[in-house]
Structure 1
Amino acid sequence: MELNSNQIREIIPHRYPMQLVDKITDFEPGVWAEGIKCVSVNESFFQGHFPEEHVMPGVLIVEALAQCGAVAILSSDEFKGKIAFFGGIKNARFRKQVKPGDVLELRCEITERRGPLGFGKGVAKVDGKVACQAEISFAIGAGKDE
């Protein structure tokens, strides 16, 4: 099942310039999600990172993975309408630079849940090669209508 950027915004609160997932290509609610980020030379972060040699900041790659995971967890019936807050990052590794023109392939799998707390593993690839992998943690908070 695919989700376009408008459908993603119905699930997570991120908006330009911080919505870092353009499309969800497939997902299983509450379990995993896969998506893409089409990296453009016009991204605002390239103005300072780095003006002469554009490289997507690693922390934003991890944020894109977290947003992909947020779509997975918040699309489950149990957490619809809630917000997922980033709790932490462990074992982040950056193996390939992400540059303008790249399509960042994202996958985040929810590995454990304890009440409103959860953990996931994410992998970001470019052209099938690992650019980043990380473990993330999150907390589910009240939604805007609560």
Structure 2
Amino acid sequence: MSQAPAHPGFDINGIIRHQRNRYPVLLIDRVTDVDPGKSARAVKCFTYNEWFFPGHFDDEPNVPGFVQIESLTQTFIMTFLCMEEYRGMKTNFVSINNVRFKRKVVPGDVLKIEARLTSFKRGLAIGSAESFVDGEPACSGDFVVAVPEILDRYKPRG
């Protein structure tokens, strides 16, 4: 029995169709490939024109940690939002754990992100993501993300 091939990915328009983040907080440029319900890979190309560089910092611009974490999270949610039944649904953070920053990310760097979905039950997605610049680890973390529309179906009625 052959396994269905992974989806080849999404350009920016495909990402916008599948998740709700928009400028200025849509922080991935392309989903390079996705195995629905399992994994996703994405890239974010940082240019000096990013809105946060003048304030972080004008004498030594680098990507703020929250931007890196949000880029990882947006890749992570594509592991399940790429599935037709969840497409376009809102998501909320439940927890972010074990975050590690391994290197500075600066203008001109391309962040390559790999995300894995470990569990998706009753509207709670659990998994992790890590990023690399030129093959070097940059940032990683474990995530629990809720999909309120699904989660609400399982809340006790009072």
Q: TM-score range by the shorter chain?
A: over 0.9
Root mean square deviation of aligned Cα: 1.3
TM-score of the superposition, structure 1-length normalised?
0.93
Asked if the contact 2:41/2:113 (under 8 Å) is kept, the reply is yes
State yes or no: 1:128 paired with 2:135. yes
Q: CA deviation at 1:69?
A: 1.1
Which among 7, 15, 21 is matched to residue 8 of structure 1?
A: 15
Give the greater-gyration-radius structure (CA): 2
After TM superposition, give the deviation of residue 2 of structure 1 in Å.
Answer: 2.2
1:52 is the counterpart of 2:89: no
Please list every run of 5 or more consecutive structure 1 residues that lacks an aligned counterpart in the other structure.
Answer: none
Aligned to 1:72: 79
Give the match for residue 90 of structure 1.
Answer: 97
Corresponding position of 1:28: 35
Q: Distance in 2 between matches of 1:55 and 1:35?
A: 20
Contact conserved, 1:74 with 1:84, CA < 8 A, in 2?
no
Q: Output the TM-score relative to the length of structure 2.
A: 0.86
Structure 1 residue 4 displacement after superposition: 0.4
Does the Cα contact within 8 Å between 2:123 and 2:149 map onto a contact in 1? no
Q: Percent identity?
A: 35
Matches of 2:30 and 2:148 in 1, distance apart? 24
Deviation digits for residues 45-81 of structure 1, max 9, x if unmatched?
Answer: 1121111101101111111011011111111233223
Aligned partner letter, 1:8: I
Q: Per-residue deviation at 1:114? A: 2.6
Local SS of the residue matching 2:74:
helix
CA–CA separation in structure 1 for the residues paired with 2:68 and 2:123:
24
Q: Distance in 2 between matches of 1:113 and 1:13?
A: 19
Please name the residue that 1:99 is paired with: 106
More strand by share: 1
| SS in structure 2 at match of 1:62 | helix
Does the Cα contact within 8 Å between 2:17 and 2:87 map onto a contact in 1? no
AA matched with 1:79: Y
